[in-house]
Structure 1
Amino acid sequence: MFPVSDTAGIESAVNRFMRYVNGPVDRWFGDRDTMHKLIDMARVSTARVIPENFPPPRVRGTVLLSVVNNRTEDAAALMEWYLHRDHFNRLDSLRRASAFDAVLRHRFPDYAQARDTNR
């Protein structure tokens, strides 16, 4: 947030905003500008969290995005990795992740085939 108390502060706020957009925001998008990078990022745990924390929306979203972009092998490999972890994020469980996998298998035959091959 870049508060502006009066018209004199607008230029300063715009400059701070643009530094942010051209710095951290630009790097964030640059780290995620290809499918390969997104797939790699799905396996990066949240910093400073023990045990390792892989947010379910990131992993599941990447699996689904991979499937709909005809990268079923990548999706299957990511799901295989995720399902065989020792622990899950507090918002997830092996049962929930397995149910998600089952729905994807049912809905996307190519994914099901890739998962069966990946085992």
Structure 2
Amino acid sequence: MMERKKAVFVLIMVAILLFGCSSKQPPRTTLTLNIEAGYDINTTSPGQAAPLQTRLYELGSKTLFEQADFLDLYLKDASTLQDSLNRDRVEPRGSTPPTTPSVRVRTGRFG
């Protein structure tokens, strides 16, 4: 009988330890963006519309982003920003496409 009480006690203590050490998931962050672009933006000298690309960078740290120049970000953003990058691209063409980027837990900045 005493052995059974000890076994039950040990099982209860193990269960308390397991539940006490488990970590809660951080609350999910939702970011909804509405990006609007007019028909007359980014026109060439004859007045024709040139392609426009809007990029949203989700960053774990802003350091690499702030140190990078435009061409590095435009041509090779993934290698420039390395593993702190989660990228969504939106190319508005006179419309307003909704975007809800996924946000990583380690995100520290948007740029």
Query: Which TM-score band (shorter chain)?
Result: under 0.3
More strand by share: 2
More helix by share: 1
**TM-score, scaled to structure 1:** 0.26
State the structure with more CA Rg.
Answer: 2
Higher relative contact order (CA 8 A, sep 6+): 2
**TM-score, scaled to structure 2:** 0.27
